[in-house]
Amino acid sequence: MPLVEGYSFQFQKNTAKKPGSDGFLGIINPDLIQEINNWQADAILVYGWAYQAHLKAIHYFKNKTPVYFRGDSTLLNRKKGIKNSITTILLRWVYGYIDHAFYVGTSNKAYFKQYGLQEQQLTFAPHAIDNERFSSSSIKEASALRAQFKIADHQLLILFSGKLILRKNPLLLLKAFSELQKSNVHLLFVGNGILENTLKARTQELKLTEQVHFLNFQNQTQMPALYQACDLFCLPSEVETWGLAVNEAMACSKAILVSNQVGCALDLVKSSVNGEIFESGNEQDLLEKLQFLTQNKSKLKEYGIASYSIIQNWSFNQ
């Protein structure tokens, strides 16, 4: 999909020793402030502060040019203690340089307020995806995918889509699925990551190769068919600031199961309406939610219709 078409842009020189988005010193743009001054911007929108160039710009332009900010951090998974106290001091200092922030949902708004921003400094700008593109029919492709894994129409398919890494907790989902013991339910992992081989080996050990399936990372153009092929989308993350995959699945009219550490849970997942929320890391709770949700395919379809209705309020138009 084209990412740099339809608007003018300019790349800044990055002088970092190890360029990248993995650490604070991965983005160092020595000419950024001068370039912004030359452009005579009326306001500056910064996405995140966790890079040297971003933080430097936020600090420099305070009281010179309005600084707008967008991020999706939450207070979820925050632990008490000295580290948290230091974090609070740091973040209150950082957000003291912000004039206005755009929050993506309820948990994100609570985060901004915790670290010093006032109600009048906050504007709702929902985390959204192209609902129309995802909801466009991909029935033929979805049917082909189910046929590829020998999943009959009357059977259920649970989908996990994302990196196969620890914080996404795919192993917990596999473990709970193995306890489900329903021959009419399948599980599909879409993505790659450090846990891929472990998941595949565990699937072999559990003798679940006919019910648990794997696909490599898929491009965004292929995702609508994947969502439309499933009956239930599950995101069991231990840490997830939002979870846009949930938006995507809901735009495809799918029931949702997420952990309570997924940032979008409070806004998008309504218990017994369009899905369920389980306690993060709690295998028994996840299993019970899976047992409940996989009882009735028609009920999942009702939940999917509700998901589609809910996600209409989380769109680019908003």
**Do 143 and 160 reside in the same domain of the chain?**
yes
**Is the pTM above the cut of 0.85?**
yes
Token readout for 154 is 């009357």
Give CA–CA dist 159/150, Å, rounded: 15
The pLDDT of residue 8 is: 87
Q: Report yes or no on 7 lying in a domain.
A: no
pLDDT at residue 206 in the model: 97
- C-alpha distance from residue 84 to each of 87, 90, 107 (Å): 5, 10, 17
- Specify which residues 70 forms β-bridges with: 47, 102
Say if 192 falls within a structural domain.
Answer: yes
Question: From CA 165, how far away is CA 167, in angstroms rounded?
Answer: 6
Domain boundary (64, 98, 124) is at: 124
| Mean pLDDT split into 10-residue runs, the chain, 318 residues | 83 94 94 95 95 97 97 90 90 97 98 98 96 90 96 98 98 98 97 98 98 96 96 98 98 98 98 98 98 97 98 88
In Å, the largest CA–CA distance within the chain is 65
Domain with residue 151: its CATH number is 3.40.50.2000
Q: How far apart are CA 106 and CA 114, in angstroms?
A: 12
Contact (CB, 8 A) for 208 and 185: no
Angle at 55 between CA 50 and CA 57, to 5 degrees: 140
Cα–Cα distances (Å) from 152 to 140, 163, 178, in that order, read: 14, 27, 20
State the total domains in the chain: 2
How far apart, in whole angstroms, are the C-alpha atoms of residue 266 and residue 242? Answer: 10
223: containing domain? 131-311
Distance CA 134, CA 230 (A): 14
